[in-house]
Structure 1
Amino acid sequence: MKINNLTTVRSIFRFLVLMGLMLQMNPLVMAATTDVPVYVDFAEQPGYLPLVEGANTIPIVQGENEAEAVVWAIDQLRQDFEKVTGVKSTAAHNEVPKGSKTLLLIGTLGQNPLIDQLVKQKKIDVSAIHGQWEASLTQTIDNPLPGIEKALLIVGSDRRGTIYGIYELSKQMGVSPWYWWADVPIEQHSAVYARSIRAISRPKVKYRGIFLNDEAPALSGWAKEKFGGFNHEFYKHVFELILRLKGNYLWPAMWGSAFYDDDPENAIWADRMGVVMGTSHHEPLTRAHDEWRRYGEGPWDYQKNEENLRNFWRDGIRRMGARESLVTIGMRGDGDEPMSEENNIQLLERIVNDQRKIIGKETGKAAKETPQLWALYKEVQDYYDRGMRVPDDVTLLLCDDNWGNIRKLPDLTAKKRSGGYGIYYHFDYVGGPRNSKWINVSQVQRVWEQMNLAYQYGVDQIWIVNVGDLKPMEYPISFFLDMAWNPDQFKASNLLQHTEAWCAQQFGEQYAKESARLINTYTKYNHRVTPELLDENTYSLQHYGEFEQVVMDYRNLLIDAMRLYYILPQQYRDAFDELVLFPINACSNLYEMYYAVAKNKYFASKNDEQANYWADKVKACFERDSILTVHYNKDIANGKWSHMMDQVRIGYKIWQEPRKSTMPHVSYLPTMKPMPKIFMEVKGYVSMEAENYDVSSGGGGVSWTVIPDLGKTLSGVTTSPVTKAPDEQVYLEYKVDVRTTGEAKLVVLTSPTLNFNENKGLRYAVSIDGGAEQEVNINGHYRGELGEWQAKRIIETATTHLIEKPGLHTLRIRPLDPGIVFQKILLDMGGLKPSYLGPPQSEYKRSD
């Protein structure tokens, strides 16, 4: 194509530049969350539709008969406009506000007369969403109605289709779904614009949800303090999060709790906001496990107590009414335990048949018209494998092994089921070999690999994941629900891009890549072994320094996380602490503690007093764990998340948690008389820190003082008082074990003290094995010139000695003047390389 028009060329160039900026700002539009491309901008361009401009906002027009859930979401959108711009949009019903030239038209097909009018007039094509499950159309349109120049339409095939379109706009304006649950700040803008767009969005998996499980003491303690318990004020935040993440399904908290019974408003608000309710795999016909404890009569045994159980379940379906629910059927033992051996397949099939009769009778319609699931959890899968079957309309909920590994998938050659298949997955688990419930240990790479496997085998009816207390699992929850919306958008090569896009949403583009690397790396480390399973025996001290390496891995990651924390703008730090820094900090400390336990045991077994040092380290790390917990609970977001980090992770002896953390056992050895330190020759030299002498001798009122951290390496050693000259009784001795004989150079590194004593200089004498002393003046040559040698921050002097035989030798250094500070002593047998620091200290062994 030949282009001659310069204006056209410039227009194309501007377009390409704009597209480049769009891609920079949104590195993974498709793989980040949805199938809706970016259409929100904060800078005006020709053809853009202003949504907010200065004090003016686009009016929102909704249908008068719109579902309550859509009305709720529209009100949230109006608040989101205010969060972003400081200006709250106006709302109208069924009519165009007078004088308006633009509109934001929102509604569900059949519920907004203006939208239905546009469909009838064929001004918009809704064929792609009509009759579809949770589908939405987002489109800008010119001259849709008399007097209206331009409008943005958000049209849903049903109430959640509309809701997802609304929350997609909120997200693109910069309101993270985690704005409340993770304190993600909302960037302010003076204007918001919509680009021209037409996008169809619909989910690939029908029911997509989370299960709040194992919620004591963390989630339950927090909810009780902040809301008075698991009531509708608590659940409204959960429902909103699920919908903003484009989920639709919830199994509520159940250990000691009962969603329908604790607060009757809970179920009303679930329906009011548009969330499908269910109950966990072992809670049939909407009845919570704890309700049987409260109201049940007789044993939880269908053979012995059939009538009472049927009445119990019947009340659950009556209470459910017409509200949108996914009903669990089947039966396990009381408290999520296996049923007794005498309960056979025929009995379970009869139970399911009786439950479906209850469903049909109480709903007044065929049982198959009420969505149901049967969870093949643990031993229930064995019943299925031995031939137990349920009606074809029931969804078979397949399960993982509680650790993220899917146990069973459909036979690709089998006849299709009308109820299809689902997956119950775990990010959190209570059970053997030990609980996994404190912190995020889920690698999204593994989640993708397993859930992609499930999807490719036709599992697309239900995806539900156990998230425990919810709060520590923010990123994997987002990933799981994003993948459930459209599994096809993910592949092995773009998983990190999703993490980066998610981090950009929480912390901004500038910090996204490094934040994503930190999350990606810490979950990889946690996937090696869960914190509850970690102990002093997990890694080897002896095998290639394995334990030290994993400790260093986490320590280095923590350094990087702390660096980024202090670079981040202040408003992002709470969110970053919750989502990135705290998990790394707390887990790094845990690794440090168990490494110290291993070192303590090792040195105690050798009867080495170094065991005491490592015992003190264990205590310090154990205390730090408590301090970090208090920080999360009380400091982050001004105490908003009190109790949320109360899960115990230290002190496990069996699968279940102890009631409180207990410090690992350590051994202290009695302090003994110091044994000689003998430094070994390594690679042709011996290197010793001055403070690691074997003998320090004082006399005449002069003693030795160690100055910690002085100098280039460990410390400095000098005589005291500094006004008194040492006599012959003042010296330091070092034991060295050498294998090389011949001429050796003894190098002494001292601090760069000047010759303050009228230029006489500071002197010391050295000898080996009691032989003749050699006297050295370290700075007698100095006459006040400002040369380069002072910048080295060290004075290096040397003497030459003859080592006639291998073995043990004694080096003596005797100061002749006060004020000299020794830092390091090196015996060079021909292997020493020049360095202002000197080589690392040689290994030393205790004398037997």
Structure 2
Amino acid sequence: MEFCLVNGEAATFLLEEECYSGVAKIAEKVCGDVELVTGIRPVTRRISKTYLDEQKESEYVVLVGTVGKSSVLEKLNGRVPLDKIRGKRESFLFQIVDNGTKATLVIAGSDKRGTIYGLFHLSEYMGVSPWVHFSDVLPEKRKKLTLTEKDNMISREPSVKYRGFFINDEWPAFGSWTFEHFGGFTEEMYDLIFETLLRLKGNYLWPAMWTSSFSLDGPGDANARLADEYGIVMSNSHHEPCLRHSEEWDLVRGEDSVYGNEWNYVTNREGLLRYWRDGLQRNGKFENIITIGMRGERDSMMLGSDATLKQNIDLLKDIITEQRKLIAECINSDAPQMIALYKEVEAYFYGNEGMMDGLKDWDGLDGVTFMLCEDNFGNMRTLPTAELKNRKGGWGMYYHFDYHGGPISYEWVNSSYLPKIWDQMTEAYEFGIRDIWVVNVGDLKFQEYPLSFFMDLAYDYDKWGISNYNAPEEYLKYWIDREFGSRLEHQAKQKLETIMKGYTRLSHNRKAEAMAPETYHPVHYCEAERMLKQVKELERCLAALEVQIPNELFPAFFELVYYPAKGSLNVQKLNLLAGMNHYYAKQGAVIANDYANELKKCIEADNRLTKQLNALLGGKWNGMGASEHIGFRNWNEEECQYPVRMYVEPANKARILSYVKGDGEVVTAGGDWTGKKLVLKQFLRPDTDNGTVVILNGGREPVEYEIQCDNPGIFFDKKSGRLETRDEITVSIDKNSMGENKTFVIHYRGGNIHCEIPVRQQLPEKLKEMTFVETDGIIAIEAEHYAEAESGDGGKFEKIPEYGKTLSGMKAYPCDRTFAENEGPKLIYRIYVEEEGNYRILLYTAPANPLNQWDRVEFGLSVNGRETRQIPLIPEHYISGEPSCQEWCEMVLNQIRIVECKDYLRQGENEIQIQAVKPGFLLEKLVIVKAEKKLPESYLGPEESYYIY
């Protein structure tokens, strides 16, 4: 049986007279989608309860209804399985019914939102993206649209009850844009936001709040009425109680105001209660989750720093008690309520263990949702204990793709990485946070990709959640197909996948706002050079893809991909070039000037890119790229500045500066009096038979040089040359023919650069597989390259692909489990060291916070079968989310936590065993270093060592 939606003419959409007005509005939007795809707009027609009795239709019709609000649907029960969605939350069925003439498509929802999701499911079927209007993703044109019985489906109930986002930090970008195009934060603008949210199968919103009042700007309550009409559940941020908005207070406060003039419950109790009562009476008739509690003015602490914990808790309990009385009086006692346990309120939640109960133990919050928050940089902190996991009222999570605050704000374009979102939000879900998920998306623009994943994960956890470790990679392919479809060839889609994965991973390693010239080391491990190569490869890929994009897809491509990718890559490149410019300038190498000029081009490219955005589609998105994003020194943008460009005045004589590539510990111009020589330690790696010396010109004129070497086993790609600015000399060896004198000299008229090649002795013949070999006192191991893995206590380590800063991550599952001592899952690593002695074992772990105030994040460490030690990741004085805590600031900016342990290793083979103990531990890399050796400065750490395989 075939249902023809469009074939020369369009099917008619039928809605009963009593259908929800919001459903009728969405039906019109879906008719607009049909027109966008086919050029033909269906009409909608209202029908009576007796429609089926009178039906004489000879046309295709789409029958839209909601269970419990549709007599027509009930008459179809049996032919359409309404009982499979009846009583469920936000579910729908989508079924073709044979009516004897032409088939009818029935879209039935279990409730208002279910019906709306069912309507938008038809849009998805036609290839219409959720971002069709907010990001200009035009669907592919089609002349005919048909469905068959294979398209019948019954939707699931959403995994998370309330799913949505928070428009925040909306100036200068979103605010400038909405005032230019909509005259402010008006109903017309929110209509676009609500539609986008519903297309994403969301239902929950925290509105913009920096300079706006949602319930006044519609104008009046038009925003709130429209939200309720669409079934959007409105709420307010953590410091906006009782349906009043932050900015409203300044509009009504005053010495002569009935509300008083002080946002202070101690001195203005009656005024604030009156203020909250009026807010509840005004907005209580709509569907809301009411924020309760209180913070100080402008999101600060309520009482002074000299107030005790008990004074703060007692005050907050009094406030909440009175607020809940007002809610019962103005609405009803069962109205959904939420308290955000954010910043210092988290301490009030815990209280003082064994001495004073916190809010978590107080029955005055029974039935209220506890809204937790990560540390503002995407890392979980407080999560429900097993005892509280199933409490009445449940749990919410306030997550961040955007943040305005310390140590550095990030508000520009997407810098969130899907593997990390997946890891942290699946952890939240497994800990029982399943009632509310809300994410701070800042200006919303340029957060489309991570937000799509966040919303789909919340809607269908079974598909994208903990059972699918490859979910981030699979989702990227799905997202590319959804947004760009068949109009891109397979090769172009591969490029797009490379770009999306590449730029988001680089941004994960270091956000654009946090990038600085000194982030990546200019020389050690060729770190800056390797990163610059990655950036340029991605830029070339992006440029090649740009010319393959069909014209009708270009605006969507520019908004969803090009601007955030190109912008992010350019900021990465800008800072890498600045770092190399500064390094070479300090050495006196004239190539520093080349880097300075390249850096200037990057600054110009940044300004040019934003102008291109502002001009797109006749200025449709003008202003959306206005957020500061280069050179943050603090959280506030006033201190932002472009990197300084350094220029070198060349020396008036011949000068060659030299160093070993990847090792900047020694830089020499070859003056005999310095005693400096270059040691090519690369040759200590068993798998390496070549190395490189970098030479730089420090003078005004080119310099002639030659290499002097009498060892028959040492070879060079060039024995002489004329150095203009920079050159590399590749050295290779034949160990079997090397003589005793393992040195060579680079001679020029200004000096002699002495170089030495150390060669290690042969390794034992029978080293076990996956044994890593020390080089110059250092061993580096990527976490996934363990020798053995053992399950334990019902758990096992699993690889999260591409999670880490360098390769991947290893995490123990179930992720909410605390494992008994010596009984948890284990990873075993094998290493070979040249000398016995004391060594430092550095574990590079994903950022982690205590998941309970009185708990620790721990792992077990055992070397060579000795007793397992329980090692904490978190220092005693650590405070997550607190900009005054240096350890936390470094962790979130560097996207890594490095934990150092000391142990004794024997000469030869050793085994290091890592055991899972407490939740939150995710291993990315191990580095083992001789106790007395200084590890070269770098951002990513040493590259992985040679190992037997």
Q: What is the TM-score normalised by the length of structure 2?
A: 0.66
1:352 to 300, 310, 320: 320
Distance 1:810 1:598 in 2: 27
Change (3 A) 1:603 1:315: same
**Partner residue in 2 for 1:518:** 499
Distance 1:631 1:829 in 2: 47
Change (3 A) 1:680 1:464: closer
Distance 1:352 1:630 in 2: 49
2:70 to 87, 112, 116: 112
1:274 maps to a residue whose letter is G
1:244 to 199, 206, 218: 199
How far does the alpha carbon of each residue in 1:798-828 deviate from its partner, in whole angstroms, 9 at most, with x for none?
xxxxxxxx9x9999xxxxxxxxxx9xx9999
How far does the alpha carbon of each residue in 1:577-625 deviate from its partner, in whole angstroms, 9 at most, with x for none?
2212222211222122212222232233223443333333332222221
Offset, 1:513: 4.0
Change (3 A) 1:740 1:327: same
Distance 1:570 1:562 in 2: 15
Note if contact 2:398-2:440 (Cα within 8 Å) is conserved in structure 1. yes
Where 1:736 maps in the other structure, the secondary structure is strand
**Partner residue in 1 for 2:911:** none
Distance 1:228 1:562 in 2: 36
Superposition map of 1:714-753 within 5 A: 735-740=704-709
* Match status 1:48 vs 2:25: no
Distance 1:651 1:167 in 2: 43
1:266 maps to a residue whose letter is N
Where 1:259 maps in the other structure, the secondary structure is coil
**Partner residue in 2 for 1:102:** 60
Note if contact 2:706-2:747 (Cα within 8 Å) is conserved in structure 1. no
* Match status 1:847 vs 2:826: no
Offset, 1:262: 2.2
Change (3 A) 1:843 1:319: farther
Q: Percent identity?
A: 37
How far does the alpha carbon of each residue in 1:629-687 deviate from its partner, in whole angstroms, 9 at most, with x for none?
111222x333211110000012322121127x5322233344654x336699999xxxx
Larger CA Rg, structure 1 vs 2: 1
Note if contact 1:603-1:611 (Cα within 8 Å) is conserved in structure 2. yes
Change (3 A) 1:844 1:472: farther
2:641 maps to a residue whose letter is T
Superposition map of 1:513-592 within 5 A: 513-592=494-573
* Match status 1:472 vs 2:446: yes
Superposition map of 1:305-454 within 5 A: 305-340=268-303, 341=305, 342=307, 343-363=311-331, 365=332, 367=333, 369-386=334-351, 387-388=358-359, 389=362, 390-414=364-388, 416-454=390-428
* Match status 1:506 vs 2:474: no
1:163 maps to a residue whose letter is I
Query: What root-mean-square deviation, in Å, do the aligned CA atoms of Structure 1 and Structure 2 show?
Result: 3.2
* Match status 1:153 vs 2:131: no
**Partner residue in 2 for 1:228:** 183
How far does the alpha carbon of each residue in 1:378-397 deviate from its partner, in whole angstroms, 9 at most, with x for none?
21111111112342211111
Note if contact 1:286-1:317 (Cα within 8 Å) is conserved in structure 2. yes
**Partner residue in 2 for 1:57:** 10
* Match status 1:274 vs 2:274: no
Q: What is the TM-score normalised by the length of structure 1?
A: 0.73
Offset, 1:459: 1.3
Note if contact 1:134-1:161 (Cα within 8 Å) is conserved in structure 2. yes
Question: Greater helix percent: which structure?
Answer: 1
Offset, 1:300: 1.5
**Partner residue in 2 for 1:755:** none
* Match status 1:288 vs 2:236: no
1:81 maps to a residue whose letter is V
Change (3 A) 1:847 1:350: same
Offset, 1:93: 1.9
* Match status 1:606 vs 2:611: no
Mark the runs of 5 or more structure 1 residues left unpaired by the alignment: 1-46, 684-731, 744-748, 750-805, 812-821, 832-841
**Of 88-97 and 317-326, the range deviating more from structure 2:** 88-97
**Partner residue in 2 for 1:715:** none
Distance 2:528 2:728 in 1: 31
Distance 1:289 1:66 in 2: 35
2:137 to 181, 184, 198: 184
Distance 1:642 1:83 in 2: 24
**Partner residue in 2 for 1:640:** 620
Change (3 A) 1:585 1:826: closer
**Of 349-358 and 93-102, the range deviating more from structure 2:** 93-102
Distance 1:566 1:206 in 2: 43
Where 2:84 maps in the other structure, the secondary structure is coil
* Match status 1:481 vs 2:455: yes
Note if contact 1:49-1:194 (Cα within 8 Å) is conserved in structure 2. yes
Change (3 A) 1:65 1:612: same
Change (3 A) 1:403 1:680: closer
Where 2:514 maps in the other structure, the secondary structure is coil
**Partner residue in 1 for 2:641:** 662
Note if contact 2:160-2:435 (Cα within 8 Å) is conserved in structure 1. yes
Distance 2:133 2:746 in 1: 54
Offset, 1:514: 3.4
Change (3 A) 1:548 1:137: same
Offset, 1:127: 1.8
Note if contact 1:141-1:150 (Cα within 8 Å) is conserved in structure 2. yes
Note if contact 2:4-2:11 (Cα within 8 Å) is conserved in structure 1. yes
Change (3 A) 1:294 1:735: same
Distance 1:419 1:681 in 2: 63
Change (3 A) 1:590 1:68: same
Offset, 1:61: 1.4
Offset, 1:846: 8.8
Alignment size in residue pairs:
661
Note if contact 2:704-2:748 (Cα within 8 Å) is conserved in structure 1. no
1:580 maps to a residue whose letter is V
How far does the alpha carbon of each residue in 1:733-792 deviate from its partner, in whole angstroms, 9 at most, with x for none?
96223304799xxxxx9xxxxxxxxxxxxxxxxxxxxxxxxxxxxxxxxxxxxxxxxxxx
Offset, 1:456: 1.6
